[in-house]
Structure 1
Amino acid sequence: MRFSAASAIVLASLALAGCTSSMGLSDIMSSGPSKETTASVARPASPVPQADIAAAAPSVPVQQAMSAPIPQAGILVAPPMPAQMVTEEPVQVAMAAPRIELDSVPTPDTKPIALIAPSNPMKATPFAPGQIYGRRFRDAKPINFGKAASPRNFAVHGVDVSRWQGEIDWPKLRTQGANFAYIKATDGGDHLDPMFRKNWRAAEAAGLRRGAYHFFYWCRTAGEQADWFIRNVPKVAGALPPVIDVEYNGESSCKRRLSRAKTIEKMQVFMDKLERHYGQRPIIYTAPDFYRDNLRGEFLDYPFWLRAVAEPPSKVYPGRKWVFWQYSGSGLSHGVDGKIDLNVFRGTEAQWHQWVARSAG
C-alpha cells in the first residue's frame, strides 16, 4: 500500500513540534484493531470477510451515465471505480457469440414422415369390366332345376333391377357375382324409373356390364314409346343391347289384349326404331304365358331373354334359343335390401366376352 501526501505532512508536523507522546511512528503503523467493544455489539469469533470492491463502488450520477459512451454489442465493460482504487486500464471481456458453420451441421438420414411423398402413390383401382366374379347369391325360394340344368352350371351371372330394389350398394353387389345388370329405364310413353339415372351411373362405376330395358305399354303407340326410351337412355359405348319387356301385367291400368298379329306389329315398330338409333338389335324379354299366346315361332332372328323360375327354359320354351335366363325372382344378395331377380348368360366365360365384343355398343 502507498503513503498518501496527507500522511507525510502529519508525520512531519509531529516531529517538528517535538511531540512527547509515548506512541511513536512504529506504534501508529503497527497498531491493530481495538480490543474494546460495546456492550450491545458482540465481537465476531472470526475475522469479517473483506467486502466486494465492485459492490462498494460509488453510484454514477444519471447525467454522467447518460453521457458515457454505449459499449458495442457483445462487449461487457466493468463499472467505473474510484480514482485511488484504479491501478490499471479497465479490462474488456469479449462475449462474441459462437459461430456455427451450417456445412458442419449433420443432416438426418431420413426426412420426417409427414414430409415424405410416396414415390408411387396408390390410386383407387376401379373394378375391371372384364373380370368375372363367381356366383355367391342366395335364394329365398330355391328351386331344384336338376343337376344338368342348374343355373350354377353357367359361368356368368347377373341381375335386373328397378326402383323396387331401392338404394343399391353396387360394388358389394358386384363382388357377389353380378357381372351384368339390366336396369329399368322407362315404361309407356311418359314414365321414367326414378332410380334409373343413379343406377345407370353406379353400375358402370362398379364395373358391371349394363343395359336398359323398357316395359311395353299396350295402350300407347309403339313410336311414342320408342321416342321416350331414346330420350332417356343415352347411347354410350360398351352398353348392352336395349331390351323390350313384353308380358301381361294385371296391375297395369291398361287391360287391353291385342291380337297376335297386332302385338307383333307394334313390337316390330318399336324395335326397328331402337335398332336404327343405337345400332344394336334389341333383346326380347318375356314370360311363359305371353310367349305361348304371341311369340312362339316368331322373331327367330332376335335374341331372347326368358323368364323361367320353376323349370328350365328347355321345358318352358321348347325349341327357343336364348341369351339370358331369369331363373329367380327371389334372390338375396349383400348390397341389396330385399329380393332381386337373378339371371345367367348362356355360354362360357370366353363366349361371354365374345358376345359382348360383338353386341355391346
Structure 2
Amino acid sequence: MPPTKRNPAVKKPVTRKTNPRKKKPKPFPMQWKVAIAGLLLILLSPLYYGYVLNGFVATWRWIKDWGQDPNYRTYESFNIKIPKKFSVHGIDVSYYQGKIDWPKVKAMKEDEVKVSFAFIKATEGLLQVDPYFQRNWREAPKAGIVCGAYHFFRPKKSGKAQAKFFLQVVNIEKGDLPPVVDIETLDGVSPLRMRLELSDFLTYVEMKTKVRPIIYTGLKFYEDNLEGKLDEYPLWIAHYYQPKLRLDKSKWQFWQHSDKAKINGIGHVVDFNAFNGDSTSLAEMLVK
C-alpha cells in the first residue's frame, strides 16, 4: 500500500513587535510655570503663615465662643472673660500682689477696657496693717488711678474698735473712693452679732469721714446674712465667671466678676471689677 502524503503544517507568519517611538511630552505651558512659582513664593512667605495663623486663631475663637453670650467675651491681654455692658473697670489689691508698677497698670488697655480705679487693702481686724498699703496708696494716685481703701472685718472683734484702727492707718481725702468694709465670714459668731458689729463699724467711719462706706461681700454670704439688711450702704458684690450678676442692678455699685486677671505691672493674678455706671457716676461717688 503506497504511503500517504502528510500535509505539511502551515506556519503562521510571525509578526515582530516594533517599539513605537515615544512621543515627546508637550512643553509645560508658561502660564502654569508662573502660577506654580507664585504659589511657592506665597507658601514660603512669613506673611502667608501669619495670615494662616491669624485665620486659625479667629476660627478657634469663633468655635470656642459659639453659643456663648456675646456680651461676655474673652479679652486676651487680661486673660479673662469680661462683661461687655460696662464702661468703667478696676482692680483690688493687697500684699498678695507684691510690688506693683502702677504706671504700667494705668497704661494697659484692650479695646475700651482699662483700669480706672483700684481698691487697696489697708487693715484687718484690730492689729494687721497690709505691708504694701502705704506704697500702693501713694503710688496708684500718682499714676492717675482713683483709689479707695478697704478693711477686712473680723466679726468676733469690736466693730467700733476696728473702725478706729482703720482710720488711724488710712487718711481719706478729697478725690478718694469711699472707704470699704470687707465682710466674708462669720468667724463663728451668729449673723445677728456680725451685723451689730458691722453696723458699729459703718456708723463710726461715716461719722468721722462724713462719707458713707461701701460693704463688700460674696453673693452667697450676702444672700444668707445681709440681704434686706443695711441696704442704705453701697454694695460691692463678688460673683465670679458669670456673664451677668444674679442680683438686681439697682442694689449694687461694684461687681467683682473675676479673681484671675493678668495685669501689666503686677506679678500675680488680680481681682477684676466692673462699676455699675459711667465715668460721670464714678466721679459723683468720690469724696468731696
Aligned-partner SS, 1:159: strand
Residue segments in structure 1 that go unaligned for 5+ positions in a row: 1-134, 144-149, 249-254
Contact 2:90 2:272 in 1 (8 A): yes
Q: Is the 8 A contact 1:137 1:331 kept in 2?
A: no
Does 1:261 find its partner at 2:192?
Answer: yes
Matched with 1:283 is 214
Please report how far the alpha carbon of residue 302 of structure 1 lies from its aligned counterpart in structure 2 after TM superposition.
Answer: 1.0
Query: Which of residues 152, 165, 170 in structure 1 aligns to 2:97?
Result: 165
1:195 paired residue number: 132
The CA distance in 2 between the partners of 1:272 and 1:159, in whole Å, is 26
In structure 1, distance between residues paired with 2:105 and 2:257? 18
Q: Is residue 92 of structure 2 the alignment partner of residue 155 of structure 1? A: no
Compare the two structures and name the one with the higher strand fraction: 2
* Alignment-mate amino acid for residue 161 of structure 2: E
1:179 matched to 2:116: yes
Counterpart residue number, 2:178 = 241
Relative to structure 1, is the Cα distance of residues 158 and 256 closer, same or farther in structure 2, using a 3 angstrom cutoff?
A: closer
> Does the aligned pair in 2 maintain the 1:138–1:331 contact within 8 Å?
no
- Cα pair 1:241 1:281 within 8 Å, conserved: yes
Per the TM alignment, residue 223 of structure 1 is displaced from its structure 2 partner at its CA by 1.7
How far did 1:175 drift?
Answer: 1.7
- Matched AA of 1:247: E
> Please, which runs of 5 or more residues in structure 2 have no aligned partner?
1-73, 109-113
Q: Deviations over 1:14-71 (max 9, x none)?
A: xxxxxxxxxxxxxxxxxxxxxxxxxxxxxxxxxxxxxxxxxxxxxxxxxxxxxxxxxx
CA distance in 2, matches of 1:155, 1:319: 15
Q: 1:339: which partner in 2?
A: 269
Q: Residues of 2 paired with 1:291 and 1:138: CA distance? A: 32
Pick the aligned partner of 1:307 from 221, 238, 242: 238
Give the structure-1-normalised TM-score: 0.55
Corresponding residue of 2:260: 330
Deviation at 1:137, TM superposition (A): 7.3
Picking from 142, 151, 155, the partner of 1:205 is 142
d(CA) in 1 for partners of 2:163 and 2:282? 28
Q: CA RMSD in A?
A: 2.1
Alignment of 1:360 with 2:287, yes or no, is yes
Q: Identity over aligned residues, as a percent?
A: 37
| CA distances 1:302-356 after superposition (whole Å, capped 9, x unpaired) | 10001011335542x3576111111110000111112011111111233333x23
TM-score by length of 2: 0.68
SS of structure 1 residue aligned to 2:148: strand
CA contact (8 A) 2:120 2:149 kept: yes
Instruction: Give runs of ≥4 in structure 1 deviating > 6 Å.
Output: none
Query: For residues 303 and 280 of structure 1, do their structure 2 counterparts lie closer, same or farther at Cα, with a shift above 3 Å needed?
Result: same
Q: Conserved in 1, the CA contact under 8 Å of 2:126 and 2:161? A: yes
Distance 1:326 1:319, change over 3 A: closer
| Matched residue type, 1:306 | I
Task: Pick the structure with greater CA Rg.
Answer: 1
